[in-house]
Structure 1
């Protein structure tokens, strides 16, 4: 997802556009990996001294609700990344640096064959490990 697309989603849902929200989204777009709220707060504090975790979390919750960011729990804390909107896929997530790699394989049909009597409404597959860069460091 690009910044302008995210801003449009915010406006379309009747939420206020602010420079803080734009800057948060720009940060997600530039990082393009899973990051925690503390990293976001440290980055935002440069332009918005004293920005609170409450403000960060409130916006993260809104962004997640609107589908602008995706969240995952990694090392016992929530981390977030800009949402992927171009095509259906899943992710490999590096446990060390939070970098992601696209997995273009989707096992949902196989899963459905193992669970014939259930209705699956949505799914998300995440594979965790250590990326090449972190492994070689």
Structure 2
């Protein structure tokens, strides 16, 4: 997903354009990592000093509902990242320290049992947590 695609999706779904929403989308596009609502608020308060946590959280919920961002839980806290632009099925390696991700092109579910009898899988999520090479030394 690109910034332009995300903003177009908001428009198509009838949500009004705001500078705050655009800024949030741009931050996700720049960061390319999982971020908490607090991190997003902190990044945006320089330009929007009166911005509330509730406004950030409401927009993150909207972005999640519209599939603009992906959500995971790290350390007991919800974290968000811009939806992958990859169209092919994949999963992620996620750094517990900085939130950066890497794609895993193979799917462990295929090797486990493929499509089970009497059940149609419509979606699933598989994430592996650890430390990227940049953060590993500080967590040894």
Q: Output the TM-score relative to the length of structure 2.
A: 0.92
Q: Distance in 1 between matches of 2:121 and 2:113?
A: 8
What are the superposed Cα offsets for residues 55-114 of structure 1, whole Å, 9 maximum, x if unpaired?
001000000000100000000000000001322211000111111011111233334448
TM-superposed CA distance for 1:25, in Å, is: 0.3
Show the counterpart of 2:135. Answer: 134
Show the counterpart of 1:7. Answer: 7
What is the correspondence of 1:66-85 to structure 2 with a 5 Å cutoff?
A: 66-85=66-85
Contact 2:94 2:129 in 1 (8 A): yes
Show the counterpart of 2:110. Answer: 109
Show the counterpart of 2:94. Answer: 93
- Cα root mean square deviation, aligned: 1.4
Unaligned runs of 5+ in 2: none
What is the correspondence of 1:37-52 to structure 2 with a 5 Å cutoff?
A: 37-52=37-52
Q: Distance in 1 between matches of 2:34 and 2:97?
A: 11
What are the superposed Cα offsets for residues 32-51 of structure 1, whole Å, 9 maximum, x if unpaired?
00010111001111111120
Structure 1 ranges of 4+ moved more than 6 A:
none
**CA 1:15–1:114: 2 relative to 1, 3 Å:** closer
Aligned length: 137
Unaligned runs of 5+ in 1: none
Q: Output the TM-score relative to the length of structure 1.
A: 0.94
Show the counterpart of 2:60. Answer: 60
Q: Distance in 2 between matches of 1:114 and 1:67?
A: 25
**CA 1:113–1:102: 2 relative to 1, 3 Å:** closer
